[in-house]
């Protein structure tokens, strides 16, 4: 048996049966062990989640929903899907859940399919201000079917959303659905204002909480349902620390929940991935523990520690800083290093993050002005505020010395030493 930190590679059959794939997985295990993962949408799952995800549940077809399937032999698949539903409803304080979406993008597509007719209008956050591709990027299928209109930040220096303009546009465009949610926005949204605007124009509200769902489940951040949102969609593999997958939650309307179930199956998906649903159930169970609540609070404290280092070094952050797990920094404006260069040079020293466009970016998306990074994964490894401050210092030191080979080698060794101090844990409970 090969052991790479927490990744017990027990695939003794695969290592001889398919050495090419095995070697790639082993290489990835070492990369994850030795580097620092700052991509804010990534995390490490527990061994229990991995075991469920790699289980024999993958063999089963279970089209339909618990108690109403199109195939026989469902006594155990029904158990895991019911457990996942029950647990996620408890975590988010809602009445209905669909745990079958294969990922975040199909979850969003299913909500559109459930509630909209072709040509209907949807309002979402402008992509250049932090919104997600699935909220209306012209290259996506939803953008070809529905009309998307957007809202933006009033001022990228504070990050506050321009709610007055949002109301003005909503009154003119009459969206049927208003989406709160983002993949590159570091501040808090005023969910109550979204609900008020939606009420004024008769829209349904959906919060795409893919990035911060785990922080909401742990009550470290506000739950949009508490302000009256109708629907929450999310991925399960980011702060929620589960397998790759999606969920759709409905606060209280059975009518909406039924439409969503039909939109997932048979609307856009076939058989559910029961191994993933089993792993989701395990992750939701873990998210109910006090240890997970402490984890979520630490994610926020760690992001604040990194924010302070960036502030002290006069590096501009979009929104002026962070209220959640992520930071979007204007490295081109502040240090003269582009997002693409930053990503590449940080890869060299073992820090993984991603280049990102910033509001009003004058550069192209494939070499933008910004970088996006966050604390969910390193917090899972046990990093605390002082460690995160050190990571932020090393990150900036790398960018300031991007052409200094000796310095980069020195930083790389420091990163490796830091990573080895914090092995990826096997269990969180
Ligand atoms: C806000 C938001 N919604 C949806 C998605 C899509 O999720 P997936 O990549 O699992 O399809 C993402 C992924 O980054 C996201 O950040």
The CATH code that applies to domain 290-421 is 3.90.1150.10
Among positive and negative, which fits the CA dihedral 178, 183, 187, 188? positive
CATH 3.40.640.10 positions along the chain are: 56-287
Q: Ligand 1: which atom is nearest the Cα of residue 245?
A: 10
CATH 3.90.1150.10 positions along the chain are: 290-421
Helix, strand, or coil (residue 150)? strand
Catalytic, 63? Answer yes
Catalytic, 408? Answer no
* Probe residue for ligand 1, chosen from 39, 103, 104 as the CB with the greatest number of ligand atoms within 8 Å: 104
Protein residues with CB under 6 Å of any ligand 1 atom = 41, 103-105, 108, 132, 134, 181-183, 208, 210-211, 235
In the structure encoding, which two tokens stand for residue 76, read together? 């155990």
56-287: what CATH class? alpha beta
Q: Roughly what angle, to the nearest 10 degrees, separates helices 339-349 and 405-421?
A: 60
Catalytic, 70? Answer no
Q: What is the pTM of this model?
A: 0.96
Q: Which among 81, 208, 227, 230 is annotated as catalytic?
A: 208
Q: Ligand 1: which atom is nearest the Cα of residue 131?
A: 1
In angstroms, what is the span from residue 260 Cα to ligand 1's centroid? 18
In the structure encoding, which two tokens stand for residue 199, read together? 């009420």
Q: Ligand 1: which atom is nearest the Cα of residue 183?
A: 16
Burial 247-284 (b: 16+ CB within 10 A, else e): bbbbbeeeebbebbbebbbeebbeebbbbbbbbbbbbb
| Per-residue pLDDT tens listing for the chain (429 residues) | 445 555 555 666 777 888 898 889 888 888 898 899 999 999 999 999 999 999 999 999 999 999 999 999 999 999 999 999 999 999 999 999 999 999 999 999 999 999 999 999 999 999 999 999 999 999 999 999 999 999 999 999 999 999 999 999 999 999 999 999 999 999 999 999 999 999 999 999 999 999 999 999 999 999 999 999 999 999 999 999 999 999 999 999 999 999 999 999 999 999 999 999 999 999 999 999 999 999 999 999 999 999 999 999 999 999 999 999 999 999 999 999 999 999 999 999 999 999 999 999 999 999 999 999 999 999 999 999 999 999 999 999 999 999 999 999 999 999 999 999 999 998 887
* Strand pairing category for 177-181 and 121-125: parallel
Closest Cα to atom 7 of ligand 1: 104
* Probe residue for ligand 1, chosen from 134, 216, 325 as the CB with the greatest number of ligand atoms within 8 Å: 134
């Amino acid at each position: 048996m090969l052991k790479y930190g927490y990744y017990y590679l027990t695939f003794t059959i695969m290592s001889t049966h398919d050495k090419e794939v095995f070697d790639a997985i082993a290489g990835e295990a070492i990369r994850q062990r030795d580097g620092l993962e700052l991509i804010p949408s990534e995390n490490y799952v527990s061994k229990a989640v991995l075991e469920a995800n790699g289980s024999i549940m993958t063999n089963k077809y279970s089209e339909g929903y618990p108690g109403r399937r199109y195939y026989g032999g469902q006594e155990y698949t029904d158990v895991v899907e019911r457990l996942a539903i029950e647990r996620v409803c408890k975590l988010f304080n809602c009445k209905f859940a669909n745990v079958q979406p294969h990922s975040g993008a199909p979850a969003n597509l299913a909500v559109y399919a459930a509630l909209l007719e072709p040509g209907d209008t949807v309002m979402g956050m402008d992509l250049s201000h932090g919104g997600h591709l699935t909220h209306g990027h012209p290259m996506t299928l939803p953008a070809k079917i529905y009309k998307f209109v957007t809202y933006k930040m009033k001022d990228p220096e504070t990050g506050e959303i321009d709610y007055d303009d949002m109301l003005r546009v909503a009154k003119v465009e009459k969206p049927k659905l208003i989406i709160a949610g983002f993949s590159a926005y570091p501040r808090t949204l005023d969910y109550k204002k979204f609900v008020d605007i939606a009420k004024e124009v008769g829209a349904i509200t959906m919060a795409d909480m893919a990035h911060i769902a785990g922080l909401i489940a742990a009550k470290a951040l506000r739950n949009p349902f508490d302000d009256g949102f109708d629907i929450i969609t999310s991925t399960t593999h980011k702060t929620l620390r589960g397998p790759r997958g999606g969920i759709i939650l409905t606060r209280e309307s059975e009518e909406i929940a039924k439409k969503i179930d039909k939109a997932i199956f048979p609307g856009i998906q076939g058989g559910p991935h029961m191994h993933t649903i089993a792993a989701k159930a395990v992750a939701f169970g873990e998210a109910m523990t006090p240890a997970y609540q402490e984890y979520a609070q630490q994610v926020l404290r760690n992001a604040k520690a990194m924010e302070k280092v960036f502030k002290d070094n006069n590096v501009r952050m979009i929104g002026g800083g962070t209220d959640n797990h992520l930071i979007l920094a204007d490295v081109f404006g502040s240090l003269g290093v582009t997002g693409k260069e930053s990503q590449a040079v940080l890869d060299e020293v073992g820090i993984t993050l991603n280049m990102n466009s910033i509001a009003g970016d004058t550069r192209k998306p494939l070499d933008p002005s910004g970088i996006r990074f966050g604390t969910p994964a390193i917090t899972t490894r046990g990093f605390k505020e002082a460690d995160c401050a050190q990571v932020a210092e090393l990150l900036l030191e790398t960018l300031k010395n991007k052409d200094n080979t000796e310095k980069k080698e020195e930083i790389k060794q420091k990163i490796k030493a830091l990573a080895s101090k914090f092995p990826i844990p096997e269990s969180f409970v």
